[in-house]
Amino acid sequence: MTQSWDKQVDVLVVGSGAGGLLAALVAARNQADVLVVEKEALWGGTSATSGGGIWIPASDQALAAGFTDKVDDAFTYVRKLSAANVPDENIRAFVENAAAMLRWLSANTDIQYCAFPYPDYHAEEPGGSPKGFRTHMPLPLDGRVLGDDVATMRFASPAACMFDYLNWHFDETYIMLFRAPGWWKHLVKSLARYWFDWPFRFTSRKDRRLTLGNALTGGLRRALNKLNVPLWLNCPMESLILTNGAVIGALVRHDGRSLRIRARKGVVLAAGGFDKNQAMRNTFAPLYRNAQFSGGTAGNTGDSIRAGMAAGAATLNMQSAWAAPVFYIPGEDRGRLCTIERALPGSIMVAQDGKRYLDEAASYHIVGQQMARRHAERGDALPSWFVFDHRYRHSYPVGPLYPLKPDWMHNRAIRSILKKGRTIAELAAAIGVDPTALEGTVNRFNANAAKGEDPDFNRGTPAYDRMYSDPRVTPNPCLRPLDQAPFYAMPIYPGDIGTNGGLLTDPNARVLDQSSRPIPGLYAIGNNAASTMGESYPGAGVTIGPALTFGYLAARHITGGTNDL
């Protein structure tokens, strides 16, 4: 029977995060007719809200910075950390093609990445890099080049900008965090640039100086615009269309109509995980309990994963997530990732029994996993409490709490979660924790911290722990006694920045069926696909780095192009 189509293209990309946008760009550069569909009213996906970092071994940028890396070392490192059921060939495909992808990205877009001395999260493992230079961060981009599209770009996460609107580059974090000489001039200049962006400032709160994830997705959209690749907003995919076991298109909903889109060469699923689908979390990932605390965007409800499963796809590691501790502000639609605060001296985390149970300065994935497991086993870590003293309160930010801003100047939602006591016992009463237990915890921590030691959890010993520490504090930049009243606490939750189990794929990002055979015409990348990292998180950027790399590989495979420079 002849099928009728409302539109025909070569490649249909479902989702407008970084991986999907790059797949669309590579396909378009290889002369394919491409359409990108996005279910939400804003484009950019979770990538736009992220730090924009990408983990790329053996890159040109790292070599230029003086770091000689080896692909085999990266493979050894990821293979050791990843789940045993993740195929070697998938890990190889990532580590062997990541640098080529970044080289292509740099040559074909306005996006420029720099390699940073950002230690791998488990740098002590074989193949790990204590010096870093595998994590790359994007340079800022002028959003005015996007024209009207900047207005529909997804905002950066509140955790990745100042005052919930002012975008920051990675380097600037340290200027403001430690109030380096001239910090206030830098702040005034940034505020002036933002507020005097006329007439745009009268129509939008968006900062058109794009940084982090905004710089990445903004640069990709700019490149697609130059090639006239359309991106349809408010256009969810309803189902895949198959003939004789092959995917030949998709049913989407656009402008109130269901449209049949023919994809002559392939469909790329790049629509994120099932972070915000509570029912799917209950079924597949019960360890990560609450969709409300996920840092993913509201559209990440697993639609594409379910569509792939309905088409006969196999899945892998659906129980897994990119775990993370988060602060949750009442009324917000997601948790705020807690990255920096836990490593800074003058703070601890305790469970509801008033006792520490982890190295607070470890990677957010490890801390998030430990929190989730603790709660599953003992039921007392949701929430845990982030405890700090007066000196910490007025030295560093704590989630939405700013150090130079008095308590009363913060909004009611923030004040509702900030607890305070003139003594540790009084603080314990405010958070419902046994005063004797919390006093004992703080006294033991203080005695050891004064010596720069943490015999209980070795905080400050691993290379990564010191990434966000305060170098002005010695002998251990992660440790200082909590000894200045009043004392404070905020609830901190086991959350995530997305699920990372999904459709089983091969090294070219082709979706595999229950017999491990490719489903013709169907590809999956990013959090739609089961991560090559398994349930691990080797370093900053192992979410977006593979998403971009497999998007690049998928598009090359679909179009038969090489994209050699």
- Could you read off the pLDDT of 119-147 as tens digits, one per residue? 999 999 999 999 999 999 999 999 999 99
Lowest mean pLDDT among 98-102, 163-167, 283-287, 397-401: 163-167
How far is Cα 529 from Cα 543, in angstroms, rounded to an integer?
11
pTM equals 0.95
- According to the model, what pLDDT value does residue 168 have? 81
pLDDT over threshold 90, residue 388: yes
pLDDT over threshold 90, residue 275: yes
Which positions ≥6 away from 245 have C-beta within 8 Å? Answer: 312, 519, 520
Q: Which of 114 and 184 is assigned the larger pLDDT?
A: 114
Lookup: tokens for 27? 């396909």
Q: Do 291 and 277 contact (CB within 8 A), yes or no? A: yes
pLDDT over threshold 50, residue 34: yes
Region 84-108: what's the mean pLDDT? 98
3-state secondary structure of 281: helix
Region 239-244: what's the mean pLDDT? 97
DSSP 115-129: E-----TTTTSTT--
- According to the model, what pLDDT value does residue 521 have? 98
Q: How confident is the model at residue 101 (pLDDT cuts 50, 70, 90)?
A: very high
Region 61-83: what's the mean pLDDT? 97
- According to the model, what pLDDT value does residue 171 have? 76
Mean of per-residue pLDDT scores for the chain: 95
Q: How confident is the model at residue 83 (pLDDT cuts 50, 70, 90)?
A: very high
- According to the model, what pLDDT value does residue 156 have? 87
Looking at residue 291, its amino acid is A
pLDDT over threshold 80, residue 562: no
- According to the model, what pLDDT value does residue 159 have? 75
pLDDT digits (tens, 9 = 90+) for 488-523: 999 999 999 999 999 999 999 999 999 999 999 999
Residue 302 backbone phi and psi in degrees, to 5:
75, 15
pLDDT over threshold 80, residue 485: yes
Q: Do 527 and 276 contact (CB within 8 A), yes or no? A: no
- According to the model, what pLDDT value does residue 278 have? 97
pLDDT digits (tens, 9 = 90+) for 325-354: 999 999 998 999 999 999 999 999 999 999
Domains of the chain and any CATH numbers: 1-165+208-320+500-565 (3.50.50.60), 327-496 (3.90.700.10)
pLDDT over threshold 50, residue 324: yes
pLDDT over threshold 60, residue 201: yes
How does strand 384-389 pair with strand 487-499?
antiparallel
- According to the model, what pLDDT value does residue 516 have? 96
Percent of the chain, pLDDT > 90? 89
How far is Cα 365 from Cα 121, in angstroms, rounded to an integer?
9
Distances (CA, A) of 66 to 58, 125, 133, 354: 11, 22, 9, 46
- According to the model, what pLDDT value does residue 2 have? 60
pLDDT over threshold 90, residue 173: no
Lookup: tokens for 458? 């070795």
Q: Reduced to 3 DSSP states, what percent helix, strand and coil does the chain have, rounded to the nearest 5?
A: 35, 20, 45
- According to the model, what pLDDT value does residue 466 have? 93
DSSP tally for the chain: helices H, then strands E: 16, 23
Q: DSSP H helical segments within 227-346, as ranges?
A: 278-284, 303-310
- According to the model, what pLDDT value does residue 457 have? 98
- According to the model, what pLDDT value does residue 185 have? 86
- According to the model, what pLDDT value does residue 565 have? 34
How far is Cα 353 from Cα 376, in angstroms, rounded to an integer?
15
Q: How confident is the model at residue 179 (pLDDT cuts 50, 70, 90)?
A: confident
**Residues 241-269 as b or e (16 or more Cβ within 10 Å = b):** bbeeeebbbbbbebeeeebbbbbebbbbb
pLDDT over threshold 60, residue 1: no
pLDDT over threshold 90, residue 190: no
Which positions ≥6 away from 240 have C-beta within 8 Å? Answer: 247, 249, 250, 251, 267, 307, 308, 310, 311, 522
Region 248-268: what's the mean pLDDT? 97
pLDDT digits (tens, 9 = 90+) for 421-459: 999 999 999 999 999 999 999 999 999 999 999 999 999
Provide the 8-state DSSP code for 204. -
pLDDT digits (tens, 9 = 90+) for 210-221: 999 999 999 999
Provide the 8-state DSSP code for 293. G
pLDDT over threshold 60, residue 564: no
pLDDT digits (tens, 9 = 90+) for 403-418: 989 999 999 999 999 9
